[in-house]
Structure 1
Amino acid sequence: MSAEAHAAGAAPVQAKGAEHLQAPEQEQGPILAPAPAGAPRVLVAEGLEAVLPSGAGVGPWSGEILAGEQVLLLGPSGSGKSTLLRVLAGAIPSHQRGRVTGSVRLFEGTAGDPADGMAGGPDDGTAGGAADGFAEGASAIDPVAGGVLATAPVLGHLGQDPVDGVCLPLIADDVALPLESACTSPERIGPRVHEVLSAMGVGELAHRSAATLSGGQLQRASLAAAIAARPRLLLLDEPTAMLDAEGVAAVRSAVDAATDQTGCALLLVEHRLDEWAGEQGLDGLPARTVALDRSGRVLADGPTREVLTAHGPVLREQGCWLPREIEERIGAPEPIGAVSVPLASATPRSEVLLHLRDATLGPPDASGRGEDAVLTGADLEIRAGRLLAVVGRNGAGKSTLLGALSRLDPLRAGTLEGAAAGLVLQRPESQFVADTVEDELAASGASQDVRRAMLERLDLADHASQSPYRLSGGQQRRLSLGAMLLADRPVLLADEPGYGLDRAAHEAVLSLLREAADAGRGVVMTTHDLRSLEVADEVVVIADGRLVGPLAPAALLADDALLRRAGLRVADRPGSAHADDPAPRTALDPPALPRAPLARRDPTVLLGLLTALSIVCITLTDPAPLLVLYALLAAGTMLGLRLGPLALARAQAPFVLFAAGVFMVNVLSRPGHEPWPDLPVRVTSEGIVLGAALALRALVIGLGAVAVVRASDPGRTMTSLRTHARLPARIALALLAGQRLLEDLPRRWATITRAHRLRRPPSADGTPARLGPRAMARCAFALLVDAIRSSTRIAFALESRGLGTGERTQWRTASLRRADGALVVGVVLAVAAVLVLAG
């Protein structure tokens, strides 16, 4: 279709709000012209418009996306890009409230078995081309009426938050989930999972727990799950936001393979256009662009070069990032403006505020061993009036360095001397301590005039009475930074302050950091974005576990070798495996079996034995056989799980306390013969016997439960129950998703409590304050809110992978072994012998 035809459907710029509720019919663009032969339609929309309860919205948009076509969705923050993607994915109104008008249709095809590979087609060896995969006669799906489950067979979706994009505890199982939903033959699922994870550069993470991965690793794993089942349409919402140069290159290569070789269409939301395009410049971007204005209306829809050339000035003015080539044509933007907020500081410029000497740094939850260190021999001076940028590849230790400089995390070795530092974390909402935006600034102790000036500077004056949790991501980041600035710490640390921001929000954040430095503070920011270096006075590179620099930003940009070491340009070497896994296993390898004999037994068998043993114990009222059963079970548990007596005692502590309470209640309350009438309390023989029996019953059942839990992990248990007990997949996988959330709660709790400590006045030596009961209660509430939000996003991700009540295959199955039968026979004989001897 021509650019003129696209432009004919564009709507004029309007203010967002009530105008979405009654959009004039003539403002809705026409349906696109018929698709050329050989390029069937994947999506067709007519007058599609979505309005959220807040009044924000997107559309109307009329258009189509063809098989194999790549489309860039461009617009400033708040223009509705993510909203449009969620409408197409079926999440609005099924998962998120909103009113959708107009129509949209997705077309199912017959692209063959998803496990045939990225470049593969049907079993005859031909490529799964667009014409085969998206036949015009295919059935149509209405995402609005059908919801997420209806769209799951057709599209893959990657949301903005990678933490909640991985649903299951193990990465390989998560990537296999959409393949099971597509009824892919089990023998083909393993190779496909290995293929897509390897294409993302994270093949060694197949058997890693999601709770142990970084945001960048989770982002790549989520994208692998999105493309695993070879969707007809791929919806990507900022897929490179947390990635270094090598990660961006891997993601771009995998997406190109999915679109070029399988006929998959792509709708992409991306701020980092130059990084996505690579050395090809504009030609490396999707050939078509749909541009939205600030109100969510369609500004243009046509060839990317034409759209950006014609509308680049307007898009940049409204806050969009543009490719370097377009920027050069338009001319240099206005310089970052001065901050009107008084950021008082009496510190002389260039004075050393914080000095790190010969330090060894590691993760805060590490054991303290030297091999866990990520940085060694670190020397760094933070000076007043200077803005220092810290760069390095994903996992290099940038956040670890800031944790040490803020004194949240102790040094493994070395010294840190100097002033207190404030730290703004990557997830700003974890640092909120008040119920409204204005109260959030007031919590920093600033006067009302200063708070009002800061609200204006942050462009949040209209949101002063709003909950900070209801702000957009960019607004939350600005608020978090503004609150820390008002805390008036001599040193300000910001962890990836430009993450996920459009141009306007990015410049606002950098402006605040620059002006804080100009006011005499020492400012440190981590970044993987070369554009952020323009406001820095100097830069430090983290490469190979060492600090390089400080350097002038221009010197770093001229040093290609150092840029590659820092992960800011693609290096000619493969990514390294996890340090604790020198010979990484892949999805093609079977799950590793534990070494303990009992832990190798089938979980369904263990659960069956525990159930049978519990029934036997309930029928016994004589303490003697229960005591023998407990002794045998304790010996078997220690031998089978290789546990020592002390470890077994600690594991049973809750059951011991319960059993003691049961014993005392029965001893003191049961009527009967009193063998010791002179005691100050009445004790009966019947109470002793029955109390001992009930207490031993609790101990036996409790010890059996401990043995089963220690011997079985949730993944193996659910696989076994699905295989042998026919537990529905929807229940089993939902329980695993809950386990995934539970595993992540300690990390979330640590993040929230660390963030809240930073909001309180520090101690005399600069160490962040400890939290009192009220602050801990506030953290608990924040954790509850965070968990509820995460659970809704994980539920959406599960449905987007096709987890419903329909037919599906099962990748991993559990088989019974002779040793399982021997265990059953042995336990049955032992219990029978005890009962016979006791009878």
Structure 2
Amino acid sequence: MRPGHGRRPSARTGHAAEAAGAGARVSALGFSWQHPDRAAASPSGLDVEIRPGEKVLIVGPSGVGKSTLLHALAGVLDQEAEPDSDHQVAGPAAGQAGQLLINGVEAAERATVTGLLQQDPESAIVLARVGDDVAFGPENLAVPAERIWPRVDDALDSVGLPGTTGRSTDELSGGQQQRLGLAGITAMRPELLLLDEPTANLDPEGVRTVRDAVKTVVEDTGATLIVVEHRTDVWTELVDRVLVLGPHGVVHDGAPDEVFGQPRLAADLAEQGIWVPGRAAPQPVVRAADDGEDLLTVRDLVVSRDQPSSRALASRRRRLRSGRPVPDRAVAGRPAAEPVSLTIRSGSATALTGVNGAGKSTLALTLAGLLVPADGSVRATSVLAGEAPADPSAWSGPELLTRVGTVFQEPEHQFLTSSVRAELAEGPRRAGWSRERIEATVQDLLHRLGLEDVAEANPFTLSGGQKRRLSVGTVMAAAPRVLVLDEPTFGQDSRTWWAVVDLLAEQIRAGRVVVVVTHDRDLIAALGAEEVRVEPAPAGDGVRQTEPAPAASVHDGWLARRDALTKLVCAFALTVPLVLSADPLTSAIILAGELVALGLAGQRPLRLLIVAWPIVVAAVLSGWGTALLAENSGAVLLEAGPVLLSEGSVAAGAAIAVRGLALALPGLALLLSTDPTDLADGLARTARLPARFVIAALVGLRLVTVMVRQWQVLVTARRARGAGASRNPRLLVKELGGRAFGLLVQALRRATRLAVTMEVRGFGAVVAAGERTWARPIRRDGTDAVLLALTLALAAGAPLLSHLAGLHRFIWQ
């Protein structure tokens, strides 16, 4: 950690933070940053002065250090090691040269309230609920609690997410997550607002919403704005100034019309890969073949992210492959989009468009055979399916490999190997190509995608744009008949954008199909794609539920409204007599009391036990095992060969089984009826546990749930790459190891990005000084006291009644 890193923001807590209204002054004096894996620094030799309240757009070719500069200004370069350069070779140790000052203080000191929005939308989210996430920054800045929720509401309104404070952040689309991240930093009233490609994942309406929100924020607060964006036309009307970065500092500096309005300069910038506003839109480089063959027919297709269990999916595939009928609806859940019907023909391009959250990515994955339709059908013709079933969702990984290739939203999900070259070769190798053909294909793709310099690099170490191009190349390498690509041009400058477009056009000319999920109007025009507008499903619509939704039955009602810390104390109080007592009567009384209490509280105890069936089964098996092994006493109840059960052994087994259920039920009820944030607040504010520890645990809990979902995404992505179908034990272990490594990489990278977001939003500075405020009020009333009293009475009364009956026995007796 650099000296001074992590100090609390000076004079920017409490009321001072509310009063902040002036923008920050930024000064770079010969500033350079040397990455440890680079031959040259980037940025290098940067000399620039940005006045308070000025709005600046930074552009430049890939590799000049634009994202690195933003992270340096946020004071988090020692945490964020992700490169933004296209040239990664061994170089000197990391370090700073020159000075980078904010209001005359080194940026690393973080003495100014600064907001940074990173490229990855999910990395901008800290907590599980929208309102809590937006409140996180003001809480860390010790803004008085009564002022936080008005700030939260204002911030959400400004980014087009009104009325969503209670919504789960996991339910948001990528674009909505990006807007939530912006709300989270604007609620802090930053003096310096740093945006790294903030509109890259947004639909056109979302782009306008975010740009207008930024405009409102900087006008209301007077904040200095620095934005990095490939698509410059979005920001030219808002910014005062454009800085063009080169390998050795600023090469052009002026008003937008001065930089982009000079024909010779504009042409030079375009040659470097910079998107110049007003340049002629691309003309179609390919048109659909009129005589193309039908490959996929889609009829009244309803798609959903809710999918059957792995076992149900395997059973469905077996039925389809054997020609047996399958249920009309294999999915129990909410549809993601309105029904879609279309026909996909060879030699054509189709663009799936629509607002963020409309279900475009879900539709694409269903067309690719990676998700099961909620209703309707996707059928491959014999031209595409060959000997495989007509339903693509029944195809194995190897069958998908040469039929349908998929590029996911997150490129890292589909990487299987340790080098770029090996990654491009993996698909053809699995398809059984000759070595010569594989080498020729890989070399061609390396050249055309601009990846020759990083051919031996690990795919996970590439820049964002390089990863995107590599993910496109891995799919093209195996030459499938249908290519389904989710935002294939995201994060590209104009040169690499054309490289991707040329490759896609080549696929179409070869008679293949390209299906793209995109907001990129230029891409649609260049490919001459047929546009399919995806409309979101109306709120409240749903596909028939075939399984219970246990969480909903417990999260609502009387128990969910009780104080979280009180419920934790109650669960602990019931645990003490159960752990200390070994007789069945104590456990039975407590279990009966728990069931009655849950029923009176409006819950469904039996349904809760059904939800907890693994615990029930474990308790029964433990009881059975104890009954078989315990010392026999009393009358013999059963004797069959080696099996001998007596009254004494059955009583011992029953005690174990009932005690297991009684121990599990309060914890399960607490887990399903309690918002983790409420519990964390109670532990920090009432139990006085360190806020840093409690909040870190809360964020870690959310990260665990994200990683659970990521595991399933990795399973799906590897199936798309032809992996995961082997029954050979050695290969199966290897594939599982690769999947586990991919999950580890995802976890580390997400944790690193999340740490950056938390630090930028004040965590660790004010928190360490003990000055944090808490937005949520503690709702603890007389009802909670009654609940605690009844619980203590049950915890003390059960062993007392057992003692009076002459049956109580401690575990050591």
TM-score by length of 1: 0.77
Are residues 40 and 403 of structure 1, via their aligned partners in 2, closer, same or farther at CA, if it must alter by over 3 Å? closer
What SS is found at the alignment partner of 2:601?
Answer: helix
Tell me, yes or no, if the aligned pair for 2:46 and 2:248 is still in contact at 8 Å.
no
Partner residue, 1:629: 590
- Distance (Å, rounded) in 1 between the aligned partners of 2:671 and 2:723: 43
Are residues 43 and 772 of structure 1, via their aligned partners in 2, closer, same or farther at CA, if it must alter by over 3 Å? same
- Distance (Å, rounded) in 1 between the aligned partners of 2:473 and 2:679: 48
- Distance (Å, rounded) in 1 between the aligned partners of 2:79 and 2:465: 26
How far has the Cα of 1:323 moved from its partner?
Answer: 0.8
Deviations along 1:725-765, whole A, 9 cap, x unmatched?
223322222222122222323432232222211111899xx
Instruction: Read off the aligned partner of 1:303 and give its amino acid letter.
Output: A
Tell me, yes or no, if the aligned pair for 1:360 and 1:414 is still in contact at 8 Å.
yes
Of residues 366, 369, 375, the one that matches 1:404 is: 366
- Distance (Å, rounded) in 2 between the aligned partners of 1:171 and 1:160: 19
Output aligned runs, 1:84-163, within 5 Å.
Answer: 84-96=69-81, 98-107=94-103, 140-144=104-108, 146=109, 150-151=110-111, 153-163=112-122
Partner residue, 1:316: 270
Instruction: Read off the aligned partner of 1:156 and give its amino acid letter.
Output: G
- Distance (Å, rounded) in 2 between the aligned partners of 1:51 and 1:744: 33
Of residues 816, 819, 822, the one that matches 2:783 is: 819
Tell me, yes or no, if the aligned pair for 2:619 and 2:656 is still in contact at 8 Å.
no
- Distance (Å, rounded) in 2 between the aligned partners of 1:761 and 1:161: 27
Tell me, yes or no, if the aligned pair for 1:361 and 1:404 is still in contact at 8 Å.
no
How far has the Cα of 1:425 moved from its partner?
Answer: 1.7
Partner residue, 1:81: 66
Tell me, yes or no, if the aligned pair for 2:159 and 2:209 is still in contact at 8 Å.
yes
Instruction: Read off the aligned partner of 1:291 and give its amino acid letter.
Output: V
How far has the Cα of 1:494 moved from its partner?
Answer: 1.5
Of residues 198, 215, 234, the one that matches 1:256 is: 215
Instruction: Read off the aligned partner of 2:380 and give its amino acid letter.
Output: E
Partner residue, 1:451: 442
Deviations along 1:690-734, whole A, 9 cap, x unmatched?
665455443322222122212212122122323322233222222
What SS is found at the alignment partner of 2:342?
Answer: strand
Partner residue, 2:243: 290
Partner residue, 2:229: 270
Of residues 809, 821, 831, the one that matches 2:773 is: 809
Are residues 349 and 429 of structure 1, via their aligned partners in 2, closer, same or farther at CA, if it must alter by over 3 Å? farther
Deviations along 1:669-698, whole A, 9 cap, x unmatched?
669999799874788987766665455443
Partner residue, 1:753: 715
Are residues 726 and 519 of structure 1, via their aligned partners in 2, closer, same or farther at CA, if it must alter by over 3 Å? same
Of residues 755, 772, 792, the one that matches 2:752 is: 792
Greater Cα offset, 646-655 or 462-471: 646-655
Deviations along 1:24-69, whole A, 9 cap, x unmatched?
xxxxxxxxxxxxxx98852222111101111152122122222210
What SS is found at the alignment partner of 1:407?
Answer: coil
Greater Cα offset, 225-234 or 683-692: 683-692
Deviations along 1:218-267, whole A, 9 cap, x unmatched?
00000111111111100000010011122111111121122223210011
Query: Is 1:462–2:453 an aligned residue pair?
Result: yes
Instruction: Read off the aligned partner of 2:788 and give its amino acid letter.
Output: V
Partner residue, 1:394: 356
Partner residue, 1:60: 45
What SS is found at the alignment partner of 1:364?
Answer: coil
Instruction: Read off the aligned partner of 2:239 and give its amino acid letter.
Output: P
Are residues 596 and 79 of structure 1, via their aligned partners in 2, closer, same or farther at CA, if it must alter by over 3 Å? same
Tell me, yes or no, if the aligned pair for 1:599 and 1:712 is still in contact at 8 Å.
yes
How far has the Cα of 1:181 moved from its partner?
Answer: 1.6
Are residues 352 and 70 of structure 1, via their aligned partners in 2, closer, same or farther at CA, if it must alter by over 3 Å? same
Partner residue, 1:603: 564
Partner residue, 1:128: none
How far has the Cα of 1:775 moved from its partner?
Answer: 3.2
Partner residue, 2:528: 537
Query: Is 1:413–2:376 an aligned residue pair?
Result: yes
RMSD of aligned residue pairs (Cα, Å): 3.3
Deviations along 1:754-791, whole A, 9 cap, x unmatched?
2211111899xxxxxxx966434422321221112101
Of residues 20, 29, 41, the one that matches 1:46 is: 29
Tell me, yes or no, if the aligned pair for 1:273 and 1:285 is still in contact at 8 Å.
no
What SS is found at the alignment partner of 2:522?
Answer: helix
- Distance (Å, rounded) in 2 between the aligned partners of 1:493 and 1:789: 26
Greater Cα offset, 801-810 or 771-780: 771-780
Deviations along 1:8-33, whole A, 9 cap, x unmatched?
xxxxxxxxxxxxxxxxxxxxxxxxxx
Partner residue, 2:150: 191
How far has the Cα of 1:578 moved from its partner?
Answer: 5.5
What SS is found at the alignment partner of 1:435?
Answer: coil
Runs (5+) with no aligned partner, structure 1: 1-37, 108-139, 339-346, 547-576, 582-591, 764-770
Output aligned runs, 1:609-648, within 5 Å.
Answer: 609-640=570-601, 642-648=603-609
- Distance (Å, rounded) in 1 between the aligned partners of 2:627 and 2:756: 50
Partner residue, 2:511: 520
Tell me, yes or no, if the aligned pair for 1:358 and 1:378 is still in contact at 8 Å.
yes
How far has the Cα of 1:157 moved from its partner?
Answer: 0.5
- Distance (Å, rounded) in 2 between the aligned partners of 1:796 and 1:484: 32
Instruction: Read off the aligned partner of 2:501 and give its amino acid letter.
Output: L
Deviations along 1:545-577, whole A, 9 cap, x unmatched?
69xxxxxxxxxxxxxxxxxxxxxxxxxxxxxx9
Deviations along 1:155-180, whole A, 9 cap, x unmatched?
10000101111111111111111111
Tell me, yes or no, if the aligned pair for 1:638 and 1:648 is still in contact at 8 Å.
no
- Distance (Å, rounded) in 1 between the aligned partners of 2:64 and 2:272: 10
Tell me, yes or no, if the aligned pair for 1:211 and 1:743 is still in contact at 8 Å.
no
- Distance (Å, rounded) in 1 between the aligned partners of 2:621 and 2:336: 47
Identity of aligned residues (%): 34
Runs (5+) with no aligned partner, structure 2: 1-20, 82-92, 309-328, 385-402, 429-436, 543-552, 726-730, 804-813
Instruction: Read off the aligned partner of 2:685 and give its amino acid letter.
Output: T
Are residues 392 and 710 of structure 1, via their aligned partners in 2, closer, same or farther at CA, if it must alter by over 3 Å? closer
Figure out how many residues of one structure are paired with residues of the other and give that number: 697
Are residues 619 and 73 of structure 1, via their aligned partners in 2, closer, same or farther at CA, if it must alter by over 3 Å? same
- Distance (Å, rounded) in 1 between the aligned partners of 2:672 and 2:603: 11
How far has the Cα of 1:201 moved from its partner?
Answer: 0.4
- Distance (Å, rounded) in 1 between the aligned partners of 2:613 and 2:683: 26
Tell me, yes or no, if the aligned pair for 1:389 and 1:536 is still in contact at 8 Å.
no
Of residues 732, 737, 743, the one that matches 2:699 is: 737
